[in-house]
Structure 1
Amino acid sequence: MTITTTKKLLGLTAAAGMIVALAGCGSAPTTDPTSDAPEEALDFLPCLVSDEGGWNDKSFNQSAKEGMDRAAAELGVTPIELESASENDYARNMETAVSEGCDLIVSVGFLLSAATVESALANPDVDYAIIDDWADNDFDGTVDAPNVKPLVFDTAQAAYLGGYAAAAWSAQAGVNKVGTLGGMQIPSVAVFMDGFALGVDKFNEDKSGAVEVFGWDVASQQGAFTGGFAANDTAKQTAQGVLDQGVDVILPVGGPIYLSAAAAIADSGDDTLMMGVDSDLAAADSSVADITLVSIMKAIDVAVFDATVAAAGGDFDPAPYVGTLENEGVKLSSFHEFEAELPDGLLDELAALQQQIIDGTITVESPNSP
């Protein structure tokens, strides 16, 4: 069962036909006689626990927070939002959420899986949702606690389109080299890299191209990783290692590490472009808009919004939600200022590929897909 999307997401240009701050702990919600929220939601307390990277990561944490904030505003409640500075904060923040009386606890990211399951098993009357993870830590194919709803995304589908676009851009320039790097090597990161590389393969197949991918090999599942999600010297050096291969498009996958990739691009003095992940990076961070070709997006905000509103209305459903191109859970952003410079016909080609993926004519086979 999927979450009903309540708002259409921003999309690509119509010509393509494509669907293109740390917050302190809040107090318990109080009744607002002027609120239009349903009466049963007034005693509802939603909570959000971040992964590393912070609420202002321009990526998955920020997107989750935006979804929670929008749901809370619509419901007329005040959420508790707990930021994790490191993995040592995961269990502690989950305990805090429970002690504060949270009715729904949403955890942001694969790395919070163990802490989420442990908390859910200990608190069967609390509803939980987790982003980018199945909450299946014993790998038996089922969620480990009956009160946890996985919110996962088949990002390889949108990344396939992104890889095709990157290859087309590089081929047009005569460079024929693109690259990628990740934060931690976990499925929610590697799935982007798989789709990206497979999209490049599709371009080469369709156009008799010779575009190479650096930083990731789908078959061996080996590539360039920073080891975390911080924008630091290690991330910059990792990005530089990929740039040194001569790529003119690079995909950094891992929240704030895009800042390190941007710094490495600036130091290189080359005209390399970057791609965003999770959110529309060009729109989220104007400082990198001039080097961001396109972003591979996940509708984390919508998934969190829908799960929160459903739980507030007593309609919490632990059945997993899987975001796809078909239900608009994943997509490409607009190409913004680069649209006029794209190879002729590329937008139509991307629209056709998207429809073929939706129809099942093309299957994007990533070992990291949900």
Structure 2
Amino acid sequence: MRRVLKLATAGAAATLVLAACGEAPSEEETTAGGGENAESSEDGEAAGGDAGDFKACMVSDSGGFDDQSFNQSGKEGLDAAAEELGIEPVEVESQADTDYATNVSNLVSQGCNITIGVGFLLEDAIQAAAEENPDTNFALIDSAFSDADFNPVELDNAKPILFNTAEASYLAGYLAAGMTESGTVATFGGLQIPSVSVFMDGFADGVDKFNEDNGTDVNLLGWDKEAQEGAFSGDFENQSQGQTLTEQFISQGADIVMPVAGPVGLGAAAAASESDGVKIVWVDSDGYLTASEYSDLMLTSVMKEIGAAVEQTITETVEGGFTNEPYVGTLENDGVGLAEYHDYAGDVEAMMVTGPDGEEVSLAEAVTMLEEMIVSGDITVESDNSPQQ
């Protein structure tokens, strides 16, 4: 119930939320492996026994592990830990919100040493299980924990894995403003929750920074940072909603769109593919690789290094070093960043702009300079949706 109240509160400010009905779910799948045949790492020892006796478990949200976004990235981290450490991985794919508590409970009953929930939507299920099972470790990607009044809660056996994507999105907004030919760019989210809005905040500020540096007036559709109002598809599954929103943005002149909505972003890419000159900024993973059917549209991606954070968390737990201290990915620790420009690298290099130092430089150089200024602290990207560090 707490999660439902949170979503209702977060969504109240949205000016455009399209009703979304996902496709009928397929039969739930549970996959286990790696424990019997995997080779042990040099460390070889897990807390309480051999690494091969350690079971690391993960529950996806309803987007599934093939979402070409953060669920997939989480699973890649689990698989990497299993290969490196010789532990047993178990993945459970949720088909609907109603699966979360049951899936987490089932993994606990299987004796998982650590159970990781992928996404804000699993907060209630992971938190309840952690409170009921104080001798078992848990982690949650993209959300911290809170009480019924939304006050922060620390649990000794539960670790938040968070990402300050406002920093990397700031770079993406600056890049998009420099590359647009129409003078209009856009963004939209799946649900209005902090882990989504933080991308949109950074993107908006990056566009503003480019306008400030270059005396331009690039227009951003889909998000008003000050009012915290904008466009949301209503979920993370229904790709047709992403396609509809993107078609609306294109009709208003947008030629670069950043969907922050998991698989819904594939609908945005589909709409972009039908319009000449429209590009996509992907999120979470490198869309050029994970959504390769649309690689020719991918200007760049705002990446969260979820896989690396998951692997690190599992490794620490196997070695007996689990802590509840939040992991926060930033530009400084390489937890977030921009992907390569791939097919657009030459265009970004050739585009000359006024950089943040007031000198004429290539757009690629300007983005690099901005990144260095954020890491050094000369620029602070502010967002009320950023995780606490």
TM-score, structure 2 normalization? 0.85
Change beyond 3 A, Cα 1:356–1:138: farther
Alpha-carbon distance, 1:243 to partner: 1.9
1: CA distance, partners of 2:171 / 2:39: 48
Give SS of 2:311's match: helix
The question of whether the paired residues in 2 share the 8 Å contact of 1:276 and 1:292 is answered with yes
Q: Which residue of 1 aligns with 2:377?
A: 360
* Amino acid corresponding to residue 329 of structure 1 in structure 2: G
| Residue identity opposite 1:77 in structure 2 | I
Corresponding residue of 1:59: 69
Residue type of the alignment partner of 1:183: G
In structure 1, what is the equivalent of residue 153 of structure 2? 143
Q: How does 1:64-79 map to 2 (within 5 A)?
A: 64-79=74-89
Is 1:37–1:76's contact at 8 Å kept on the other side of the alignment?
no
In structure 2, distance between residues paired with 1:256 and 1:140: 28
* Counterpart amino acid of residue 193 in structure 2: I
Alignment partner of 1:225 is 2:242: no
Deviations 1:107-136 (A, max 9, x none): 101111111110000000111110111112
Residues 91-100 or 29-38, more deviating: 29-38
Instruction: Provide, for residues 20-58 of structure 1, a one-character-per-residue CA deviation record: whole Å limited to 9, x for no partner.
Output: x98633269348787645133221110001112111111
CA contact (8 A) 2:40 2:84 kept: no
Aligned CA RMSD, in angstroms, stands at 1.9
Task: Verify: 1:159 aligned to 2:166, yes or no.
Answer: no
Q: Does 1:253 align with 2:224?
A: no
Residue 68 of structure 1: how far off its partner (Å): 0.5
Q: Is the 8 A contact 2:156 2:323 kept in 1?
A: no
Gaps of 5+ in 2: 1-25, 353-361
Distance 2:113 2:190 in 1: 32
Tell whether the 8 Å contact from 2:45 to 2:318 is kept in structure 1 after alignment. Answer: no
Matched residue, 1:115? 125
Letter in 2 for 1:214: L
How far off its partner does 1:145 sit? 2.2
Q: Indicate the residue corresponding to 2:57 in structure 1.
A: 47
Tell me how far 1:226 sits from its aligned partner. Answer: 0.5
Say whether the 8 Å CA contact 1:113–1:137 is kept in structure 2. no
Q: Is the 8 A contact 2:191 2:232 kept in 1?
A: yes
- Matched with 1:11 is none
Q: Which residue of 1 aligns with 2:284?
A: 278
Which of 232, 240, 245 is matched with 1:238 structurally? 245
Other-structure match for 1:289? 295
Q: Does 1:182 align with 2:192?
A: no
The gaps in structure 1 that reach 5 residues or longer are 1-20
Q: For residues 261 and 120 of structure 1, do their structure 2 counterparts lie closer, same or farther at Cα, with a shift above 3 Å needed?
A: same
Q: Any idea what SS the aligned residue of 1:25 has?
A: strand
CA distance, structure 1, for counterparts of residue 327 and residue 39 of structure 2: 34
Matched-pair contact (CA < 8 Å) for 1:183–1:254: yes
Pairwise CA distance, 1:141: 5.3
TM-score when scaled to structure 1? 0.89
